[in-house]
Structure formats: structure tokens, C-alpha cells
């Protein structure tokens, strides 16, 4: 991840928070900076990372900042049921959508510019300015359909296929 991009993301969040009555304290800046570097993390991972940089920052502050970020839609909390809940920067997902097999857990990340085009259109229709988006499709892959869609009660993260081909 180029640090220029990180900087950009940080500034985008900073702007969102800073233009309000919410103070951009050094603690919060640090939390946001580390979060945008991670993209995916658990709360405790972020706590550990932030405290490595500055041990005086309290766990509660990290959680309180995460709550702020959730409120503004920058962060989403997901419970995938293996391990602790996962926090995700919505930026991370804005440019690859997900297709997941509910049987074997395979995840395909795909890109579809025409969807993004329609998103722009929708957003314009309602006079919004788009910041981020999430888009997930759930289904059955061919193999699972053929073997009768055996459900696997997962205790490990699903496999991930990143699709490089842009449609």
C-alpha cells in the first residue's frame, strides 16, 4: 500500500471528523492513522498497535474512536464467527465487491465498473456525494451445487480468491 494512498485516506477521514464539533485529538489521530493502515483488524489488534506507538492511549479511547468511525460509516464491524469480531475500513471494499459461496466459504473479489457507474447515477439522483460502498453477493458455487450444497460449519476463515480480471 503506497503511503500516499494512506495519507489520502487519512485526510478524507480527518476532514469528515474535523469539520464538526468532534475534536481531532492526538489520540484520535493516532487511532485513525493506524486503522487506515490496517484496513482489516480486530479491536484488540488495533489497541495493541496503537499502544505500541503510544502506551498512554487507553483501550477505552480506541473503542470510543472506533465507535465514532462506525457512526460516520468509515468503519464497519463484522462478526464472521471465527475469532473476535472484525473491523473493516469501508474504503477497503470500495473497489472490489464480494461474491461468496455460502456452502464452501470461497470468496471471490470482483470488479464491475458498470455497477460503479450505476452507483454514481443513483447517488446523483438523490443529490448525494458518494464516499464509500459495500456490495456482497451470496450464492452457491458450481462445485457445491453439484455435490448437493453440503454446508460446512466453519471454524476457520474462508478461502479467498482475488479476481484480477476486470470485467
Judged by CB under 7 A, the residue of 4, 81, 125, 127 near DNA is 81
Interface stretch with DNA, choices 4-12, 79-87, 100-108, 157-165 (CB under 7 A): 79-87
Q: How many residues does the chain have?
A: 167
Judged by CB under 7 A, the residue of 67, 143, 152, 160 near DNA is 67
- Residue 13 engages its own copies in binding (rule: CB under 8 A): no
- Residue 103 engages its own copies in binding (rule: CB under 8 A): yes
Shortest reach from residue 65's CB to DNA, in Å: 6
- Residue 151 engages DNA in binding (rule: CB under 7 A): no
Report the half-sphere exposure of 39 (CA within 13 A, side-chain side): 8
Shortest reach from residue 24's CB to DNA, in Å: 8
Provide the grid cell at 82: 471465527
- Strand partners for 56: none
16-46 burial code (b ≥16 CB/10 A, e <16): bbeeeeeeeeebbbbbbbbbbebbebebeeb
CA dist 149 → 82, 138, 154 (Å): 21, 13, 14
Residues that bind its own copies (CB under 8 A): 15-17, 19-22, 67-68, 70-74, 77-81, 85, 90, 99-103, 108, 110, 112, 114-115, 118-119, 122-123, 125-142, 145, 148-154, 167
Amino acid at each position: 500500500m503506497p503511503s500516499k494512498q494512506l495519507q489520502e485516506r487519512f485526510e478524507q477521514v480527518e476532514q469528515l471528523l474535523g469539520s464538526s464539533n468532534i475534536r481531532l485529538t492526538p489520540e484520535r489521530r493516532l487511532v485513525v492513522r493506524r486503522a487506515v493502515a490496517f484496513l482489516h483488524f480486530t479491536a484488540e489488534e488495533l489497541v495493541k498497535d496503537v499502544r505500541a506507538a503510544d502506551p498512554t492511549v487507553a483501550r477505552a479511547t480506541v473503542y470510543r474512536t472506533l465507535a465514532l468511525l462506525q457512526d460516520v460509516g468509515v468503519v464497519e464491524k463484522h462478526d464472521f464467527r471465527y475469532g473476535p469480531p472484525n473491523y473493516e475500513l469501508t474504503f477497503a471494499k470500495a473497489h472490489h465487491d464480494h461474491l461468496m459461496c455460502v456452502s464452501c466459504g470461497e470468496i471471490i473479489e470482483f470488479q464491475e465498473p458498470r455497477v460503479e457507474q450505476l452507483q454514481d447515477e443513483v447517488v446523483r439522483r438523490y443529490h448525494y456525494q458518494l464516499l464509500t460502498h459495500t456490495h456482497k453477493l451470496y450464492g452457491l458455487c458450481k462445485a457445491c451445487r453439484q455435490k448437493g450444497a453440503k454446508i460446512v460449519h466453519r471454524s476457520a476463515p474462508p478461502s479467498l480468491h482475488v479476481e484480477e480480471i476486470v470485467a
